[in-house]
Chains A and B, each alone.
Chain A
């Protein structure tokens, strides 16, 4: 694990070289906020950003994805055959992703890559992507990554970690893929000792400011049924308007719907984001809906993220503390508050 150093201009040049033979995606400011987009030219890249409005999960799990397609057009030799829709799995580098979002992809992997089923779209996108993370020198007031098992300088899920040390970046390769990428990009100058020290100091100051907001282990230790029947859910759920904002912005929410659309003599099978906040989410074909009430759906979301996921996978909570839901919930429902209620030693 030998760290290298590159100054800001040097990084730009390396990116330009990379762009010649593979897709490079990074944070770009568009309209009112940053989003991850394929760079058309390196000047678009903004590594001074805080985080993107929407999580980068759409890099692997797009909002609307064409899975299969068919045509019945008489003159088409492939008429009547359901084909996999063509996708772009060419090599791709995602630059500047935050450690929380990279950790989130690992959590998403538990859903998309299991012993029995490996989602081919997810797997192929993951395999063709190299993740270059950017450490958070100044975590936001709404971030709580350290509370949930990751951190502003965490390497989990990343291939390379960049640290902005002022006049340039220290880059630490984390995986084989990361090593290869740095070599390909011609980034080989070893980082001098003072750069490594600067990075260490930045990490200390970033982590120190964050504190621990609640105990993930305390939630794991609660009795599921008691937690389920706790009286605080009534207060928590009141303000919720059951939109999809939290689920769509969240990097660890993976639920999807499959829609078949027919248009004349063509048809598609599409996968799109769904939300457990929508009443239709658990609507059975029989007409029965086990989560027809708002309280049930709100409770489900927090129990799933903070309790059930722990019980099932023993990997911590399905939340990486990115803070997007806290910032953008239209009615200020705060997962940090709910988690504190859930971890309280006395469930009243």
Chain B
């Protein structure tokens, strides 16, 4: 297990967080390669089904990032997202997903450094928890 590298899916909103990630790349900032990015138009577009689908696929962590409240490109998408994410994280952890597997952040398109730092933090947290154990859909466990 010593060479296990976590796989982490990152849902980034196109206008802020994805821009931030892009700027981090252009600025040659180093951050762990464990992040697989999925670009969405807005953090408010994220459906809990996406996060569940990622967990079912066996990813070790899910990271969702959007614009800072007040700066959403679509004005209020991230406000709704904030409400949804709070409840979703609560229920997932209540059900037994280890705290630290699902993370949320606000990162603007100028915050390249913050992006790289957050990426490192997310990967470190997931590494500390270990490989995904639950909610993985493999071949159906049937009679």
Interface residues of A (CB under 8 A from B): 58, 62-66, 69, 261, 263, 266, 268, 270
Q: How far is the CB of B103 from chain A (nearest CB, A)?
A: 25
Q: Is the CB of B142 within 8 A of A263?
A: no
Tell me, yes or no, whether B128 is within 8 Å of chain A by CB.
no
CA A271 to CA B68, docked complex, whole Å:
48
Q: Which of chain B's residues has its CB closest to A66's CB?
A: B142
- Flag if A69 contacts B139 (CB, 8 Å): yes
Residues of B within 8 A of A69 (CB): 139
Chain B positions 13-42 with a Cβ under 8 Å from a chain A Cβ: none
Q: Considering only CB atoms, which chain A residue lies closest to B56 in the complex?
A: A263
| A268 and B140 form a contact (CB under 8 A) | yes
Query: Which chain B residue lies CB-closest to A64?
Result: B142
Cβ contact within 8 Å between B138 and A263: yes
Closest chain-A Cβ to B52's Cβ sits at a distance in Å of 16
Per CB-CB distance, the 7 closest pairs between chain A and chain B, nearest first, are: A64-B142, A62-B143, A263-B139, A263-B138, A266-B139, A268-B139, A66-B142
Cβ-defined contact, B139 with A261, below 8 A: yes
In the assembled complex, which residues on chain B have CB atoms less than 8 Å from the CB atom of A62? 142-143
B residues adjacent to A (C-beta < 8 A) = 137-140, 142-143
Closest to B58 in A: A264
Q: How far is the CA of A270 from the CA of B137 in the complex (A)?
A: 15
Contacts of A263 in B (CB 8 A): 137-139
From residue A333, how far is it (CB to closest CB) to chain B in Å? 30
Closest to B143 in A: A62
Give the distance to chain B from A70, nearest Cβ to Cβ, in Å.
11
Which A residues touch B140, using CB under 8 A?
64, 66, 261, 268, 270
Question: How far apart are A273's CB and chain B's nearest CB, in angstroms?
Answer: 11
B141 to chain A, nearest CB (A): 9
A171 CA / B12 CA spacing, docked (Å): 70
Q: How far is the CB of B55 from chain A (nearest CB, A)?
A: 14
Question: Cα distance A58–B138 when bound, in Å?
Answer: 23
